[in-house]
Structure 1
Amino acid sequence: MVIQSQNASDHGRSTKFLDRTRMNNALEQAMDFGATYAEIRLMAETTSSVRLKDGQLEHAIPGQEIGATLRILADGAWGVHSTTDISNIPNEIESTVKLARAVAARRPSG
């Protein structure tokens, strides 16, 4: 189970979207379902779009994109779930463990 600590240069931008207690509980739930490893990676990107015409500001638009990827290792195979609805991550734990197990079951034995 991995919870990555905040990067000092991040100034809390990405972690403000993530309820650490809830995500820790989700990762523990993955272990309860039989995962040997689980991680949640959060991505937050801030953008700005500015348009000038003849030196005059036409528009300025700030933007922010957030998303997360859940990676779970179970039975030696990976299950991965990506979403922009980070509040729903805990609800995707069981299905992602099942996905990893389904991938593992399809591997040739040898």
Structure 2
Amino acid sequence: MEANRSQNGIQLLLAAEQEAQHIVNGARTAKTARLKQAKEEAEKEIAEFRAQMEKEFQKKVAESSGDSGANVKRLEQETEAKIQHLKVEAARISNDVVQMLLRHVTTVKN
């Protein structure tokens, strides 16, 4: 009877060990599946982010180089406006400058 009880205890331990092994294997499989799923999700997010950054980059490139004619025209207009402003200012004060120069040139100091 004692041998039968001992044999029964060993069988229970072996069964518990096998059940534990199944649980561990199931956990490993679930972990591997979750890691694979997480990797796929991360790759998808990376691809979306890369596409978004590429789109923004292409937009900036198009703004800076593709629209070059408009930029040149805008710069020419700004330059012309500044030149006209300087001409107006020069014409406005040129008489005063001439008078000041004449006064200094014709004044004799001892």
Q: One fold, TM greater than 0.5?
A: no
Q: What is the TM-score normalised by the length of structure 1? A: 0.23
TM-score, scaled to structure 2: 0.23
Larger relative contact order (Cα-Cα within 8 Å, sequence gap ≥ 6): 1
Structure with bigger gyration radius: 2
Identify, as 1 or 2, the structure richer in helix: 2
